[in-house]
Amino acid sequence: MDSDPPFHEAYKTLFDKRTIEKKITPKNEQVVMVEECELPLIDLSRLDHGDEGEREGCKLEIARASKGWGFFQVVNHGISCEILEKMRFMQERVFKQPFDMKIKEDKYLNFSAGSYRWGTPTATCLRQLSWSEAFHIPLLDISTSPPAGSDSLSSTIGQFATTVSSLAQKLAEILAEKLGHKSTFFQEHCLPSTCYLRMNRYPPCPIPSEVFGLMPHTDSDFLTILHQDQVGGLQLVKDGKWISVKPNPEALIINIGDLFQAWSNDVYKSVQHRVVTNSLVERFSTAYFFCPSYDTVIHSCHEPSVYRKFSFREYRQRVQEDVQKLGSKIGLPRFLVQSQ
């Protein structure tokens, strides 16, 4: 259909290379089974309605999951079902627009030029290709969008972003507190103007065993908050092996990013995760990335520090350089003290 990105045409060289390799060294296709599990589930209603013991217990569970898993789920999170359902509806509608309109998003869809992205321009083999399309939307763009009611997509994104931003601040402050570090750092540096949303669509893929929806990676932020549909496909590394996350319709997924791992001096873990493709059905998700300004300096809240100080701008630039040169991100190991 004409709304799908032209993966086969754009990456014809990679598909031709695959065909040649299969003729030279034919392999038996084997499906690798990945165990499905449920992430730690945390009821956030205890923070507002529980007694002191319940509030403290909830905070400890958040910190424990961030140390042991790097991922957890939250329910009673304060984002209404109405907003989430509307967001999913509007997201589905915008991705169904013709591909030729999506690549001219500033003209037709009221998004900044460059917001729409698909595939992996730097891919040199199919294993480096992400079979997905996305709109990357800085929250700064949302604040300058038409007022609520004048454009239902902008209005819905704005409602979602406002509530999720508040949740991100709350979780960051709890994680800082559990490190014994009560700080205004996140309020001062992680503003709505520095964070962004990414609306994702993963089209059906004809070769799901060979192509990821999203390559294995860690997130280059403090926290990510994910709302996904019930198709499944998100996988993460736990105890050295990949596990598949069982979707929960009531929950949002939270994961620790690289910046929080560095800031916490390796107490909280930013773990590898990926999205696998599906040959039959499409998958939708929306991710909120809790980021500081580019000039913000990241340094450990405890000494001796595992990582040297670095700015968010320097970190992003190094990640981009590595992806262009190597095809994948190196991330935090580049900033270890002993690597200087």
What residues are labeled active site? 283
DSSP letter at 32?
A: P
CA distance linking residue 163 with residue 153, whole number of Å? 16
Contact call for residues 185 and 108 (beta carbons, < 8 A):
no
β-partners of residue 138 are 196
Contact 105, 111 (CB under 8 A): yes
Place of tokens 């998100």: 234
Between CA 72 and CA 187 the distance in angstroms is 23
In what helix (H) or strand (E) does residue 263 lie, and over which residues does it extend? helix 258-263
Burial of residue 240 (number of CB atoms within 10 Å: 0-12, 13-18, 19+)? exposed
Pick from 276, 336, 330, 270: nearest CA to 306: 336
